[in-house]
Structure 1
Amino acid sequence: MSMARTLLDTRPLRTSPVYRRLLIGRTVSVLGGFMTMVTVMYQVWHMTGSTVWSGAVGVAQAVPLVGVGLFAGAWVDRGDRRRVYLGATVGQALCSALLAVQGFTGHVPVVAVLALVAAQSACGAVGAPAAGVFIPRLLPKDQVAAGLALNQVAWQAMMLAGPALAGLVLGWLGMGACYLLDALSFGLSFYGAFGLPPLPPEGEPSRPGLGGVLDGLRFLVGHRAVRGALVTDLAVTVLSFPTSLFPLVNAERFGGDPRTLGLFLTAMGVGGTAAAGLSGSLTRLGRPGRVMLCASATWGGALALFGLAGTAWAGLALLAVAGAADAVAVISRSTLVQTRTPDALLGRVTAAEQIVGQAGPDAGNLRAGLLAARSSGTTALVTGGVLCVLAVAAVAAGTPELRASAPEPAEA
């Protein structure tokens, strides 16, 4: 296999100027989003000194995402997805601008900060299902996986750069400047999407209200491959998501060195970025279900071994493997979902995928923390990793459609 086919497939950047502009705009916006995430955590802690209020930031982000998500997906599947996305982007930018105003003035209660975070999350819950249709509508089917891989590379890179940049700006210019940069970043995101053609649903539009939501859920239950992909993601994250265990494991096994703790997430991010950058051969395979299953099992196995690692360097290497496996699983799962879901249902299915992606890690962190409190961090990691591998094997055995070489046609 040539090196060129192993490296990231960049055909979408060459063949679609519209996709290229959209990717640039969304990448800058993701960078701003990570800066705001860090700044909100810093501000809430600075205002309250309370871990309870710090934890409430996650609640303020998750509740609107879950509560609005499926209904937003049904709404998206009724109209022009481009227009919905532009409106949601304006809403997110306005929330960041208001955060910037209060960041410069510093005279608002913490509840007001969390309310703005919740409003921005609600706007994001509307915009994400609309954006879920962009790649399959803009790119040929054989380039969808490559487009998703490019998105993943951009996201991973911004996950590494955003928090670091936020720390620098916070130190130099303060909280208001961080929020203001995020608000300005949405301008590029708006510009990138403004050049899209109208994107109404192809096929019968969604029914209004609860009926449209139920139609989407019926599709998810009835389509075995898409259902299997989301069940795999939910099982993997609930059973083995590790980040809440990192401080405890670092104290138990690596002497509690804060430098080691800081490297845990960095190692996962580096592994994910490297894997997405070398995903060319995988995105050209045309077997997203098989790749997703293998990557998900690798994630679980690497985390179980991390729980047994005897040295910090071995642990960091295993976390890099886990991060790489996670990136490959995300690309493959999104490819499967977007190529096997009818366009008229894609907003609702993307919303469900987003909810699983939010709820799974939160539930996984809670599970890990409760188990570790009754045993140890090592026990929680190893058992979670093993259960993850077993769950993936069960889904693979019970869902032969995920192992199929060629995608089945999308049918409503």
Structure 2
Amino acid sequence: MTIGELVKRHLVDTRPLGVPEYRRIWLGQAVSQLGVGVTVVAVGQQVWELTHSSFWVGLLGMANLIPLIVFGLWGGAVADAVDRRKLLIVGSFIAWSATLLILVQALLDLRNLFLIFAAVAVNSTGFAITGPTRGAIIPRILEPELVPSANALNSLVYSMGAVAGPMIGAVVMASVGFGGAYAVDALLFTGSLYAALKLPSLPPLGEVTRPGARAVVEGLSFILRSPVLLMSFVVDIIAMMFALPRALFPELTAERFGGSMIALGWMTSAMAIGSVVGALFSGWVGRVSRQGVALVVVIAVWGVAVAAAGFAHDLWLVVVFMAVGGLADVISSVWRQSILQLYAPDEMRGRLQGAFMVVVAGGPRLGDLRAGATATVFGLTGAWVGGGIACAVAVLIVGLSVAGFRNYRAR
């Protein structure tokens, strides 16, 4: 095998982009995720400047988490009962309205902490609706064999936004302040709106269950009866709740790097840099069959990499170790999403995607809260390094203890 053939074999599979509906979704996300990355770094820094407390920065996670749990599970149930295109449009407009609200508070210099938290909660509500809906749409518009490749492409575009967005946000904040940063997000979000508007009608297939508590319980019961699905959720919660150090970035910037916005941008982007590399060279991921064991291994690598970054006092080392963690994390996300999408019948995909989204998006918020709270007790280094080590140990013990997950082979 030549070097060119070897590289091609491992590069990300771009065949899903040949499907117009998916291509528009992907391009819309590519544009809007830049704005999301800008806001992520801006809102954390704004709360830090108002409070000078990592605990309050960590509480942003709770402002995100509560709507994610409530509306994520409900939104997934609705996605199984209505036209998914219409639901995606509604959720997108809710998220966009929150972006406009946080922009207005910055332009008026209201400096109101609770208004910021309210805007974050509304944005999370919109995301809780669009996330599971978009995830349930993908298996409808693509052939099954293209689904893992589509998930790798999704991870790539999210990661690229998470790399460029915070760097753009750091530059914009340093030059024109928070208002300019939020304005970038409000403008770029229109890409996601356009993609939703251009989708064809996607009415429900199969038996329709009326949205409500019963439908949500049916989805959760399906997960609980499936050890592989359940453990894929558990190991992700371990990874994010124990090890994610995001809420500590402003404090680390202030303590070790003189409060430099550029340093904050690099730290916020570091994990996504590794994710971009991992997604670009993800061609091999679909050929791994022992995905249960593989998930445990890559999450343990993530925990060790985070712990190593917490010991580093040079910015470039922090960036390198967090990038290694990001590479491990993106491979994990492709496997977990593909397992879920191909495991579920279409009439339950929305509900299972809702539960998945609650875990994927809610885990980091719990991680933010854990990081901020433990930093007040154990200090910055103790919270950062201890979380990474705890993640690696816990995932090896828990992940390898369940035989069904340990022995799982991809279909």
TM-score range, shorter chain: 0.7 to 0.9
Q: Which residue of 1 aligns with 2:28?
A: 25
Q: Which residue of 1 aligns with 2:117?
A: 114
State the distance in 2 between where 1:110 and 1:196 align: 38
Single out whichever of 358-367 and 311-320 deviates more from structure 2.
Answer: 311-320
Task: Give the superposition deviation at 1:330.
Answer: 1.2
Residue identity matched to 2:186: A
* Structure 1 position 396 matched with structure 2 position 400: yes
Single out whichever of 394-403 and 134-143 deviates more from structure 2.
Answer: 394-403
State the distance in 1 between where 2:372 and 2:110 align: 35
Selected match of 1:228 from 231, 239, 242: 231
Task: Give the superposition deviation at 1:355.
Answer: 1.8
Aligned-partner SS, 2:189 = helix
Residues 260-281 of structure 1, C-alpha deviation per residue, up to 9 Å, x if partnerless? 9644444322222111111111
State the distance in 1 between where 2:230 and 2:42 align: 36
Residues 366 and 222 (structure 1), Cα distance of their counterparts in 2 relative to 1, 3 Å cut: same
Residue identity matched to 2:125: A
Residues 282 and 272 (structure 1), Cα distance of their counterparts in 2 relative to 1, 3 Å cut: same
Matches within 5 A, 1:68-217: 68-106=71-109, 109-171=112-174, 175-217=178-220
- 8 Å Cα contact 1:77/1:347 also seen in 2: yes
Single out whichever of 260-269 and 2-11 deviates more from structure 2.
Answer: 260-269
Residues 365 and 322 (structure 1), Cα distance of their counterparts in 2 relative to 1, 3 Å cut: same
Task: Give the superposition deviation at 1:176.
Answer: 4.3
Residues 271-306 of structure 1, C-alpha deviation per residue, up to 9 Å, x if partnerless? 221111111111344554443232112212333455
Runs of 5+ in structure 2 lacking a partner?
none
Runs of 5+ in structure 1 lacking a partner?
408-412
Residue identity matched to 1:24: L
Aligned-partner SS, 2:409 = coil
Residues 52-73 of structure 1, C-alpha deviation per residue, up to 9 Å, x if partnerless? 7655544333322223221222
State the distance in 1 between where 2:250 and 2:115 align: 30
Residues 200 and 107 (structure 1), Cα distance of their counterparts in 2 relative to 1, 3 Å cut: same
Percent identity among equivalent residues?
Answer: 34
Single out whichever of 199-208 and 363-372 deviates more from structure 2.
Answer: 363-372
* Structure 1 position 405 matched with structure 2 position 405: no
* Structure 1 position 256 matched with structure 2 position 256: yes
Single out whichever of 237-246 and 335-344 deviates more from structure 2.
Answer: 237-246
Residues 342 and 309 (structure 1), Cα distance of their counterparts in 2 relative to 1, 3 Å cut: same
Aligned-partner SS, 2:81 = coil
State the distance in 2 between where 1:37 and 1:256 align: 21
State the distance in 2 between where 1:386 and 1:143 align: 36
Residues 234-273 of structure 1, C-alpha deviation per residue, up to 9 Å, x if partnerless? 122223333455678889xxx8244796444443222221
- 8 Å Cα contact 1:291/1:328 also seen in 2: no
Task: Give the superposition deviation at 1:354.
Answer: 1.9
State the distance in 1 between where 2:187 and 2:382 align: 45
Task: Give the superposition deviation at 1:84.
Answer: 0.1
State the distance in 2 between where 1:101 and 1:374 align: 36
Residues 281 and 101 (structure 1), Cα distance of their counterparts in 2 relative to 1, 3 Å cut: same
Single out whichever of 234-243 and 322-331 deviates more from structure 2.
Answer: 234-243
* Structure 1 position 9 matched with structure 2 position 13: yes
State the distance in 2 between where 1:112 and 1:267 align: 29
- 8 Å Cα contact 1:142/1:284 also seen in 2: no
Task: Give the superposition deviation at 1:326.
Answer: 0.9
Single out whichever of 193-202 and 216-225 deviates more from structure 2.
Answer: 193-202
- 8 Å Cα contact 1:125/1:351 also seen in 2: yes
> TM-score when scaled to structure 2?
0.84
Residue identity matched to 1:395: G
Residues 69-128 of structure 1, C-alpha deviation per residue, up to 9 Å, x if partnerless? 212221222111111001111222233334444544446855444333322221221111
Residue identity matched to 1:358: A
Residue identity matched to 1:61: N
Single out whichever of 194-203 and 317-326 deviates more from structure 2.
Answer: 194-203
- 8 Å Cα contact 2:229/2:339 also seen in 1: yes
Which structure would you say has the larger RCO, counting Cα contacts within 8 Å and 6 or more residues apart?
2
